[in-house]
Amino acid sequence: MTTQDIIKKVKQIEIRTRKKTEQTLMGQYHSAFKGQGMTFSEVRPYQFGDEIRRIDWNKTARFREPFVKVMEEERELTMMLLVDISASMDYGTRNELKREYVAEICASLGFSAAGNNDKVGLILYADQVYKVIPPQKGRKHLLSIISTMLSAEYVAAPSQIDVALQYMMSVFKKKSMVFVFSDFEDDYDLKILRVASKKHQLLAMRIADEKDNEIPDIGYALFTNAETGKQVWANTSSARWRYVFAENQKKKFRQVTEDFENSAAAFMNIKTGDDYAKLLYQYFRKR
């Protein structure tokens, strides 16, 4: 993409996601992710129905009428977006690439966070951490994150989620809401996943294309692994071969789902083109 293409795409994503966020996600986001506690806001005269334990006895004694302390939730939270930039994410057979779809989801999550005055940060990773944008607030910061995702160079290397999680835990100590985006084609360290899910609120989203699990009959074809460069010939005309391939893919991602759920982390399997706002809304409601 050229610089002009990126700017145009960022504006399109902002227009699409802000409306969807305001109508669908923002309220549920606020309810799902509570603040870190309560803090003092003000003192006002007692009203019928106020809790007795909120009475400010010093001010009540001074003015000879009851006053209560008003408390408000400490809302400021931190959202971290961990985005896989391995080459297999720079792919798509529908109207958009996986990377563009991820950018749109991240924009919706980011606008939900911004609407609740929360911070948003970004980590781009594959076999190592390639780019980090520390958490900050505001629309300008969020648009910078989206632009960075769209302009990133995707690398021919396996994605190592462990590396991204370890880096995040070493640098960002405060408990955060962590959203991990990947196609989960590569292995990961289950122990690190469990540690991360204990320290943070973790949701992983497997971004898939409709052709990831099923390959059509196109005869003999040469397949190339976008991350390792390894090539293999396959006879896709064989119904048996296609069946085994599809079943192996399903089995692998059933295991990934189980690993995350057993680690007290949430996992969502989503294909490009799906209504991600509806799926996120359901996730927030469950929380």
pLDDT tens per residue, range 144-189: 999 999 999 999 898 999 999 999 999 988 888 999 999 998 888 8
Which of 161, 177, 196, 184 is closest to 257 using CA atoms? Answer: 184
pLDDT higher than 70, residue 2: no
pLDDT, mean of residues 234-252: 88
Which is nearest to 11 in space by CA: 104, 119, 116?
104
Structure tokens at 186: 């590569």
32 pLDDT tier (thresholds 50, 70, 90): low
The mean per-residue pLDDT over the stretch 113-140 comes to 92
CATH 3.40.50.410 segments of the chain: 3-32+75-286
Q: What does the pLDDT average to over 35-62?
A: 77
Q: What is the pTM of this model?
A: 0.78
Tell how strand 201-208 and strand 266-271 pair up. parallel
For residue 99, which of 253, 209, 212 has the smallest C-alpha distance?
Answer: 209
Quick one: angle between helices 139-151 and 98-115, nearest 10? 170
Quick one: pLDDT at residue 26? 62
Give the single-character DSSP code of 112: H
Q: Which tokens belong to 189?
A: 């360290």
- Residue 168's pLDDT is 93
Q: What is the pLDDT of residues 68-93, one digit of tens each?
A: 887 655 556 899 999 999 998 988 87
Phi, psi at residue 280, to the nearest 5°? -65, -40
CA–CA dist 215, 124 (Å, integer): 29
pLDDT in tens, 4-20: 776 777 777 777 776 66
In this structure, of 20-34, 119-133, 247-261, the range with the lowest mean pLDDT score is: 20-34
Strand-strand pairing, 220-224 and 231-235: antiparallel
pLDDT at 144: 93
Q: Does domain 3-32+75-286 have CATH number 3.30.300.30?
A: no
State residue 75's pLDDT score: 55
Question: Quick one: pLDDT band at residue 115, thresholds 50, 70, 90?
Answer: confident
3-state secondary structure 150-216: HHCCCECCCCCHHHHHHHHHHHCCCCCEEEEEECCCCCCCHHHHHHHHHHCEEEEEEEECCCCCCCC
Q: Considering only CA atoms, which of 92, 114, 105, 25 is closest in space to residue 276?
A: 105
Binning pLDDT at 50, 70 and 90, where does residue 280 land? confident
**8 A C-beta contact, residue 264 and residue 197:** yes
